[in-house]
Amino acid sequence: MMSGRKKKPTTSTRLRRSKPKTRSPNPLDRMAPSESAIILRTLLIKHPELQAEAEQIAVDMISKPSVENVAKEVRDAVTSLKNEGLHDRAGQHSWGYEEPTEAAWEMLGEAVEDVVVDMKRRAKLGLCEAAEAICCGIVLGLHGAKAEGSEELLGWAPDFPTEEACQAVTELIEAASPRQRAATRARLVKKLGELVPDWNVMIARAADRAMRNRR
């Protein structure tokens, strides 16, 4: 007499759950920037129809900076520098003695150098709107740093924000093409007059000096 119990399914007849396949890592995610650039150039050589689209993406990436983001970057860079680094830079060296104030100015200038270089690079590419936005961000960030004050490195060079702001305006106007220089000066003075009204006269004077220097 057969039992009413069902036999346990054998291994071959059991319903097995397949394990999810582990996705292989994307090698593109591990590329260094230089390697990614080589891949992009190779891709464009093989597919020249993508050239216009790639150029538009590049322009979009570098032509739309946020004034507020640049200002925050500059303000943080200037106010976050500590006095500890000053001890290594100032004092007696093989080439002579460097005053703490002079060393502080150098370090603060280095902190914003990349942003200034980027501003001039875009100006030379003809991206006037982008370059002016970066300049406005630099000045706004320096204005915020001046207002905030600091007992750290900025305390050794309290005039750095105003001097560097004027220098940024000067360098942008001088980097502009001759035909764009007067228009650049006018737009900068107007926009910065709205952003930092208490620096308006100082900025206008710096802009006028830049115009005279390029004549």
- Give bridge partners of residue 191 from the DSSP assignment: none
Non-local (6+) Cβ contacts of 211 within 8 A are 173, 181, 182, 185
pLDDT, residue 87, reads 63
Is residue 26 one of the residues assigned to a domain? no
Whether residue 189 contacts residue 207, with contact meaning beta carbons closer than 8 Å, is answered with: yes
Domains identified in the chain, total number: 1
Is residue 96 one of the residues assigned to a domain? yes
- Nearest 5°: the CA angle 90, 93, 97 is 60
Over the stretch 141-185, which tens digit does the pLDDT of each residue have? 999 999 987 667 888 889 999 999 999 999 999 999 888 899 999
Is residue 185 one of the residues assigned to a domain? yes
Non-local (6+) Cβ contacts of 172 within 8 A are 119, 120, 123, 131, 132, 135, 184, 188
Is residue 11 one of the residues assigned to a domain? no
The rounded percent of the chain whose pLDDT value lies above 70 is 77
- As a whole number of angstroms, the distance between CA 81 and CA 209 comes to 31
Is residue 53 one of the residues assigned to a domain? no
User: By residue range, what is the domain housing residue 141?
Assistant: 65-213
